[in-house]
Structure 1
Amino acid sequence: MIAIIPARGGSKGLPGKNIKMLCGKPMIAYAIDAAKKSKYIDHVVVSTDDQQIADIALQYGAEIPFLRPDFLAFDTAQAVDNYIYTIDRLSKRWSIPIEEFVVLQPTSPLRITEDIDGAIEMFFEKKADSVISYTPEAHPVRWHKYINENNEFVDIFDTTITNRQDLKTSYYPNGAVYVFRSSMIKERKYYTEKSYGYIMPRNRSVDIDYQEDFDYVEFLMSRR
């Protein structure tokens, strides 16, 4: 199986985040290292439009068969289009069909190899179309509200008052591991009736978008 690590050069929330130094290593190195230790991954491919990211990824053992074209590097580009482009081009390059693949975002550096292998094993055991990592939500999702421009509450869910312990735990995707069947992705879908959630603990589920996320991950890593 191949792992695709998408690492676009432009980042507005935290400029240069994919190669920002985190506890002595560029952030993307954590995804590469975890993938290379997997029992199931044969190729670790970094998809990037940025030559600096490509050079650093190569230093840590990833493959850069080609740079991502500009039309897939804009803010408006959708991730699914990059996945389709990458697997199609790799299939032609290697002359083999890519029937399934893993996506590992570099912004989830707390993810470990056991998370990757566990999600892949679930994918094969359940003959899934996709397995996506999720983590428990800290608070009941029914507490969420929209807030309009006048700071007024707008209901999303039923407002019946219920004790917290009576509500089911909800989960949200943590961005760490995606295992996809290529045929499903080519239909521009992430989920079907044969999609499953791989549950990860919250202390490995931080997705870095902003400086405060980065600082928190740095703190957690320093305590390991």
Structure 2
Amino acid sequence: MNIAIIPARGGSKRLPGKNVKELAGKPMIAWTIEAALESSVFDHVFVSTDCEEIAAVAKEFGAKVPFLRPEKLATDESTTNDVVTHLVEWFEEKYSQEVSTVAILQPTSPLRKAEQIKEAVSVMKAKSATAVVSVCELEYPIQFCNQLGLNDSMDGFINPNDIKRTQDLKPYYRLNGAIYIFNREYVGKLDKLYSSGTHAYVMDQKSSIDIDTIDDFDLAEYIISNKLSTA
């Protein structure tokens, strides 16, 4: 069984109610649910939430919400690792079927498309990977970044060898949080994900927007409304 898990806790301090906040005509979480279903690569698409409103919206758009999270998984300290383990173990006990792969699709990445999910699955198969994690190129060269010294000193801030034209610097990549696909062996061990069996799926920066603040939300809405996404 290949399952997708969309983790969507009700509490959000920086942008309250963001998972069901209307984004370009539908609740934000709906964009991820629809992409997961449209990809047709999962046997089941689940939403794990502690919020009745999110659960109702998720069901309306076609996801399965078999339960509300237990209280111990609905706190600020609850981890994605715990949430995924709980749902996978519930599924295997309930249906007496073994999960082979799990995808984590965060609802805060609404610009991630069904085609990108399919491509990530293709990367996993082509490379015989045990996991695939989506990344995007850093918006600014990491060579131009550093911590500030005492009293905001910039002494040694940039290595002299890195004072080059931007196009002459090697690109660096960052996790974008949009797609995680992994074998059952990683359930309960997500801290082991970044190992030799894991490969990257590279996404463009527009599709990689991760909504955490109202500015992120407004940018995503602008891109969707003006059809600027490249995927």
TM-score for the superposition, normalised by structure 1? 0.94
Is residue 178 from structure 1 mapped to residue 180 from structure 2 by the alignment?
A: yes
Q: Hey, what's the Cα distance between the residues in 1 that align with 2:162 and 2:5?
A: 44
TM-score for the superposition, normalised by structure 2? 0.91
Letter of the structure 1 residue corresponding to residue 208 of structure 2? S
Asked if structure 1 preserves the Cα contact closer than 8 Å seen for 2:162 and 2:169, the reply is no
**Compared CA separation, residues 39 and 152, structure 1 to 2 (3 A):** same
Identity %: 40
Q: Hey, what's the Cα distance between the residues in 1 that align with 2:160 and 2:73?
A: 42
Structure 1: gaps spanning 5 or more residues? none
Q: Hey, what's the Cα distance between the residues in 2 that align with 1:179 and 1:12?
A: 28
Q: Hey, what's the Cα distance between the residues in 2 that align with 1:154 and 1:86?
A: 50
In the alignment of these two chains, the number of paired residues is: 224
Letter of the structure 1 residue corresponding to residue 78 of structure 2? A
Q: Secondary structure at the match of 2:103?
A: strand
Q: Hey, what's the Cα distance between the residues in 1 that align with 2:205 and 2:54?
A: 28
Task: Write the mapping of 1:7-22 to structure 2, written as runs, cut at 5 A.
Answer: 7-22=8-23
**Residue of structure 1 equivalent to 2:29:** 28
**Compared CA separation, residues 156 and 87, structure 1 to 2 (3 A):** farther
Deviation at 1:150, TM superposition (A): 3.4
Deviation at 1:159, TM superposition (A): 5.3
Deviation at 1:149, TM superposition (A): 7.3
Q: Deviations for 1:74-107, whole angstroms, at most 9, x for unmatched residues?
A: 1111111111111111111111111211111101
Is residue 187 from structure 1 mapped to residue 189 from structure 2 by the alignment?
A: yes
Q: Hey, what's the Cα distance between the residues in 2 that align with 1:69 and 1:198?
A: 33
Is residue 89 from structure 1 mapped to residue 103 from structure 2 by the alignment?
A: no
Deviation at 1:153, TM superposition (A): 4.2
Q: Does 51-60 or 176-185 show the bigger shift?
A: 176-185
Q: Secondary structure at the match of 1:13?
A: coil
Q: Deviations for 1:21-43, whole angstroms, at most 9, x for unmatched residues?
A: 11110000000101111131121
**Residue of structure 2 equivalent to 1:166:** 168
**Residue of structure 1 equivalent to 2:151:** 150
Asked if structure 2 preserves the Cα contact closer than 8 Å seen for 1:27 and 1:109, the reply is yes
Structure 2: gaps spanning 5 or more residues? none
Asked if structure 2 preserves the Cα contact closer than 8 Å seen for 1:146 and 1:155, the reply is no
CA RMSD of aligned residues (A): 1.8
